[in-house]
Amino acid sequence: MKSEREIKEMVKEKYGAIANKSKEQNQSSCCGSTCGCSDVEFTVMAEDYATLPGYVPDADLSLGCGLPTEFALIKPGDTVVDLGSGAGNDCFVARSIAGDSGRVIGIDMTDAMIAKARANAAKLGFRNVEFRSGDIEKMPVEDNTADVVVSNCVMNLVPDKKRAFAETFRIIRPGGHFSISDIVLQGELPDELRDEAALYAGCISGALEKDKYLSAIREAGFENVQVQKERQIEVPAEILARHLSLEQLEDLKRKQVGIFSITVYAEKPRH
């Protein structure tokens, strides 16, 4: 099992390489938006943003697994914080809803992503969208800042999810809420998949079982936890076959291990 530091360095390296390519380059590579043919396809999980107001094609690298801003109940004037903001995709969609009177803060630990997001914001002339370099387990955001937090397929990349949800709770104002899209499991992944760095970066190996994921949210202090959307993710058999024997693949089917994208809503109590 890799250490937390090793996991973070691996994620930075992979997402730094992705940041330097366009969506089209990522999608046309042999395995989606990854850096080599031995990796999992990120685009297997992505959903289409193109019809959403505020969509900026240059900010869309097809790295998400849901559309959290569509469910986030953002209002004009809200302060929205996006965890793992990448090139700014969800931030720009959130800004179209929060409007000129709102404020959007994106947080990402990959310098190349921060640079790309800032360049996109500058081209658009947005003055109420900012991007901060930081760690989700120790966010560069003051207490009780956000009316709404969004995140798209990022919590799985965070080794200490308990700490990440505690930090999310800290930065949300009393009465505020989040809408997070992420990957969860039904059943346990084999160790061979959990130890595979490429699959971790693809949000699979770091996934928790659904009930454990929802429990971690409640343990952080959130209430009214609801699954807003759920869909099953099909990882191509040829990718799984690179890491598992035929016998292990059959065992996986027999145990009915499933990989799902969920979008989860939760509120911070007013008192």
What structural domains and CATH numbers belong to the chain? 4-267 (3.40.50.150)
End-to-end CA distance of the chain: 40
pLDDT of residue 27: 47
Q: Are 206 and 193 in contact (CB under 8 A)?
A: no
Q: Following DSSP, what letter does each residue of 19-62 receive, concatenated?
A: HTS-HHHHHHSTTTTSSSTTS--GGGT----TTSTT--GGG--S
pLDDT of residue 144: 98
Three-state SS for 171?
A: helix
Amino acid at 102: G
Partners of 135 in the beta sheet?
A: 138
Low-confidence ranges of the chain (pLDDT < 70): 1-3, 6-7, 9-10, 16, 20-45, 188-206, 235-240, 242-245, 249, 251-257
Q: How far apart are the C-alpha atoms of 82 and 136, rounded to whole Å?
A: 10
- The answer to whether 128 touches 103, Cβ cutoff 8 Å, is yes
Q: Give CA–CA dist 187/5, Å, rounded.
A: 27
Continuous segment of H or E residues that includes residue 132: strand 129-133
What are 115-129's pLDDT values in tens digits?
A: 999 999 999 999 999
Task: Give the DSSP letter of residue 185.
Answer: E
pTM of structure: 0.82
CA 173, 179, 184: angle at the middle one, nearest 5? 130
- So what's the pLDDT on residue 53? 92
Position 158 scores a pLDDT of 86
Q: Which residue has the tokens 């089917």?
A: 253
Query: Residue 116 burial (CB < 10 Å; 0-12/13-18/19+)?
Result: buried
Contact, 61 vs 26, CB < 8 A?
A: yes
Is residue 127 within 8 A of residue 155, CB to CB? The reply is: no
- State which amino acid sits at residue 88: G
Task: Give, in order, the Cα–Cα distances in Å from 218 to each of 74, 119, 211, 213, 215.
Answer: 22, 37, 11, 9, 5
- The confidence score (pLDDT) of residue 112 equals 92
Whether 255 contacts 187, CB under 8 Å = yes
Q: Which of 201, 204, 165 is nearest to 187 (CA)?
A: 204
